[in-house]
Amino acid sequence: MPTAQAERNKATFGRLHDAVNTGDLETVSKTIDEMVAPDVLFHAPVPMGMTGVQALKQVWEVLLRAFPDLRVTTEDTVAEGDRLVLRNTVTGTHLGEYRGLPPTGKPVRYGEIFIIRFADGRVAEIWGVVDVLAQLRQLGVEPDPGGRSR
């Protein structure tokens, strides 16, 4: 049975997903400021030298510029104690520069799994596994050895 803390953590992260799905960077940034600890530890496959909240904001700036119609759909959520585990499906259309690649107009669909640790009601640490290879294959940057797209 979920605890009150687990339910609060799910609601907090739900607000972040709702903000992301608006596609509005200002909304995303404000929600991050409200819900995420300034010194959040961010462990994910992002090539940048930033840390804390600025790293998280930069990730969303890059993604929303490249995929302005980006949508994150949570497929599974597991909450226990101060941790939340999410399995998401991300979709979007490549309409802006991404990793040096000019817009292709191609749709992408890929999976990601995140573990979120909360402290004092805010996101304190994030571990992420994102299927970047699926992104790049669908954008035509990496060959798909099976000749299929995801």
Domain ranges of the chain: 4-138
Q: What does the pLDDT profile of the chain (150 residues) look like in tens digits? A: 568 888 889 988 899 999 999 999 999 999 999 999 999 998 876 656 777 888 889 999 999 999 999 999 999 999 999 999 999 999 999 999 998 999 999 999 999 999 999 999 999 999 999 998 999 999 998 776 665 544
Helix (H, G, I), strand (E, B), or coil: what is residue 74?
strand
Q: What pLDDT shows up at residue 51?
A: 77
CA 3, CA 82: separation in Å to the nearest integer?
10
User: In this structure, what token pair is assigned to residue 124?
Assistant: 């304190």
CA 77, CA 140: separation in Å to the nearest integer?
31
Q: In what order do the strands lie in the sheet with 107-119?
A: 36-43, 122-130, 107-119, 83-93, 71-80
| Single-letter code of the amino acid located at 19 | A
Q: What pLDDT shows up at residue 47?
A: 59
Alpha carbon distances (Å) from 102 to 63, 69, 127, 131: 13, 16, 29, 20
Contact of 98 with 62, CB cutoff 8 Å:
yes
CATH 3.10.450.50 applies to domain 4-138: yes
pTM, entire model:
0.87
At which residue do the structure tokens 């490249």 appear? 66
